[in-house]
Chains A and B, each alone.
Chain A
């Protein structure tokens, strides 16, 4: 990874040049002392680059949100939580600051008879807390302003000053649904900063964890879309499979959500040969049960009729908004952090996309099944390698003050950046796939019917917890 020295006016030009050369912006944040802003970018071959800009004496830096709209939320967050002013980011709407009046954080919507529907922060089901403000005419959504950060616990600040190994808890407990992926992204970043890297056995343990996490999440997400259409039988079936997947997690790692299975600098995860082969058989059974349920969904016309053409985020908009994961692939963008992952089982990994990808609810649902098949196949390869033993990280590139990690979580690419002072964390920035994709939910809602929003939202099934942190 390359970290550039702070620059002034050249910052925008350098970001623009990197974007023009095909680099993808992954995270933008205020550095530890609040005087620097950094943007992390990755190339298609897996290289990473961090451009740094020093704030003026009045605390301002040039905005890049016009060059790369995907970083708009990042700039709003750095403004609200770290007091950075982004010159050219107009209007700077509050993101994490909840004290601003309504008119400041919503987009003005004018015309004949528009009105607002306020939903949340408490929702009607068993759902995380967040506020949606729909601007509608009749039952058509003109615009959606999402106000998250109700669950902001100040996790990144809580990590500051802690030992690097201990602060892992902060990111892995940010979100139960993405805990393994978040933890692995953190560990990769920490090891890079400490001059370590994962040898094959350690990488195998981590690949196993992120794929197990993907399996239960994707089963859960298929159940959620069934719930969003009122398809009770499909919901019940895929919830039952989610339960089986969580029990499998518990029998492999001792925890239904894989809590405590990821460590920095090594892995203590031990799975004996008998458990490995039993779990391989259980996974095969789970796969068959998922395929059987999926066939039933595919041939259920009234269910399928609810999905097509709803909540479209096309490929061009996905690129512009920086959408990642199943949502981007469902629009035809064959991007996946696993394609450049050095992990065994991810060798020669190729992202799959649906045929005639349109980026609607139907494709996002179908994408989950395509990826489930891949995850089962990867797990088969990983478990076929026999018992899992404890492993240590080995010496890698030279240590440095900053480390960058990326993993493909069930919802897409999640990045973590660590700035360190010795063995302590100075700053950690966790940018999860949910954070990257929330703006796309608002985009998908615009033009849709208000009663379709729960279905559209379920087709993304994003976490609030790991966006709010």
Chain B
């Protein structure tokens, strides 16, 4: 165990990630509304040692009731439309919605129209668009930080 902790400390030293200079934090609730699982895998790594989102006060929380941001992946399927709305309405206000990945943005969507309810913006008011197929962890991190900093990139 000591070897593992030593190796992790060495990795962290080698990566030399800058410290956060942001005094605020945001709680994120992720909802997969019909993704290919690519955005999920990249989002998971955004919390890993190479990016460490938590150092900026960005954390994934277990319930929409604890969340400031709803982070939605995938083109919304007809079957995920209701659960997505339920999660959104369970959030306290003020709340923001971020659409993660090209499918969530309605770009280059594959599927049968009868099974798809539309891009996230067709269901919810989207505050932040994060393009990419899938966006890499550092792109996800940078985009989410813009919510803390208050300057939203144009969708």
Residues of A within 8 A of B (CB): 98, 121-122, 124-129, 149-155, 157-158, 169-170, 173-177, 179, 220, 233-234, 236-237, 239-240, 242-243, 246, 256-257, 259, 289, 292-293, 295-296, 300, 463-466
In-complex Cβ contact of B11 among A129, A153, A169, A240 (8 A): A240
A-B contact pairs, 15 of them (CB 8 A): A98-B79, A126-B44, A127-B32, A153-B34, A153-B77, A153-B112, A153-B116, A154-B116, A155-B112, A176-B36, A237-B49, A295-B3, A296-B1, A463-B37, A465-B36
Min distance, Cβ A209 to any Cβ of chain B, angstroms:
16
- Which of A176, A179, A296 has most chain B Cβ within 10 Å? A176
Min distance, Cβ B107 to any Cβ of chain A, angstroms:
12
Q: Is B118 located at the chain interface by the 8 A CB criterion?
A: no
Min distance, Cβ B125 to any Cβ of chain A, angstroms:
19
Across the interface, do B80 and A150 meet the contact criterion of CB distance under 8 Å? yes
In-complex Cβ contact of A154 among B1, B30, B115 (8 A): B115
In-complex Cβ contact of B37 among A124, A155, A175, A233 (8 A): A175
Residues of B within 8 A of A (CB): 1, 3-5, 7-8, 11, 30-38, 40-45, 47-50, 60, 62-63, 74-75, 77, 79-80, 83, 87, 110-112, 114-116, 133-134, 136-137
Across the interface, do B35 and A128 meet the contact criterion of CB distance under 8 Å? yes
Q: Known contacts A151-B35, A237-B8; decide if A157 and B112 are in contact (CB<8 Å).
A: yes
Across the interface, do B111 and A465 meet the contact criterion of CB distance under 8 Å? no
- Which of B1, B36, B40, B79 has most chain A Cβ within 10 Å? B36
CA gap between A124 and B87 in the complex, in Å:
12
CA gap between A34 and B48 in the complex, in Å:
47
Across the interface, do A129 and B83 meet the contact criterion of CB distance under 8 Å? yes
Across the interface, do A129 and B134 meet the contact criterion of CB distance under 8 Å? no
Across the interface, do A158 and B35 meet the contact criterion of CB distance under 8 Å? no
Across the interface, do B60 and A122 meet the contact criterion of CB distance under 8 Å? no
Across the interface, do A124 and B63 meet the contact criterion of CB distance under 8 Å? yes
Q: Known contacts A150-B83, A236-B8, A259-B133; decide if A126 and B35 are in contact (CB<8 Å).
A: no
CA gap between A151 and B76 in the complex, in Å:
8
In-complex Cβ contact of B134 among A128, A155, A176, A239 (8 A): A176
Across the interface, do B3 and A292 meet the contact criterion of CB distance under 8 Å? yes
CA gap between A128 and B49 in the complex, in Å:
22
Q: Known contacts A233-B1, A463-B37; decide if A121 and B80 are in contact (CB<8 Å).
A: yes
- Which of B8, B11, B32 has most chain A Cβ within 10 Å? B32
Min distance, Cβ A96 to any Cβ of chain B, angstroms:
9
Min distance, Cβ A222 to any Cβ of chain B, angstroms:
13
B113: nearest residue on chain A (CB-CB)?
A: A154
Across the interface, do A293 and B4 meet the contact criterion of CB distance under 8 Å? yes
B82: nearest residue on chain A (CB-CB)?
A: A121
Across the interface, do A151 and B62 meet the contact criterion of CB distance under 8 Å? no
Min distance, Cβ B64 to any Cβ of chain A, angstroms:
8
Across the interface, do B48 and A236 meet the contact criterion of CB distance under 8 Å? yes
Sample of 9 further A-B pairs with CB below 8 A, known A259-B133, A465-B36: A122-B83, A126-B43, A129-B33, A129-B34, A151-B35, A152-B79, A237-B8, A239-B49, A295-B3
CA gap between A150 and B33 in the complex, in Å:
8
Across the interface, do A243 and B111 meet the contact criterion of CB distance under 8 Å? no
Across the interface, do A233 and B4 meet the contact criterion of CB distance under 8 Å? yes
Across the interface, do A128 and B62 meet the contact criterion of CB distance under 8 Å? no
Across the interface, do B134 and A296 meet the contact criterion of CB distance under 8 Å? no
Residues of B within 8 A of A220 (CB): 41, 44
Across the interface, do B37 and A176 meet the contact criterion of CB distance under 8 Å? yes
CA gap between A150 and B60 in the complex, in Å:
22
CA gap between A174 and B35 in the complex, in Å:
9
Across the interface, do A174 and B7 meet the contact criterion of CB distance under 8 Å? no
Residues of B within 8 A of A149 (CB): 79
Q: Known contacts A158-B110, A176-B41; decide if A129 and B8 are in contact (CB<8 Å).
A: no
